[in-house]
Amino acid sequence: EVRKLAERTQKSLGEIEINTQSLTQSINDSAQAISEQTQGIAQINEAMQELEQSVAHNTQIAATSSNISENVQKIAQDILKEASSKKF
């Protein structure tokens, strides 16, 4: 009777060890996946920051271009006004 109990206990301990090893491997796999996802998120964040900088730079260029365009239009109007006031 004691021998059977010892055998069953030994068998149960072996199964517990196998389950523990399996659980440990699953945890390690999950940790690796989380690490890879964290790296991916960091890369996405870096790309988003670069994109935001590009958008801000493009906005500044567009504003400057708009100002130049307005100035050129005013100069053109002044030239036309000056030319129409002169007689050749």
CA distances from 59 to 33, 54, 86 (A): 39, 8, 41
Is 90 exceeded by the pLDDT of residue 88?
Answer: no
The string of pLDDT tens digits covering residues 32-87 is 999 999 999 999 999 999 999 999 999 999 999 999 999 999 999 999 999 888 87
Average pLDDT over residues 5-34: 97
Average pLDDT over residues 6-21: 96
Task: Say how many CA atoms lie within 13 Å of 79 toward its Cβ.
Answer: 6
Q: What is the pLDDT of residue 1?
A: 86
pTM for this prediction: 0.61
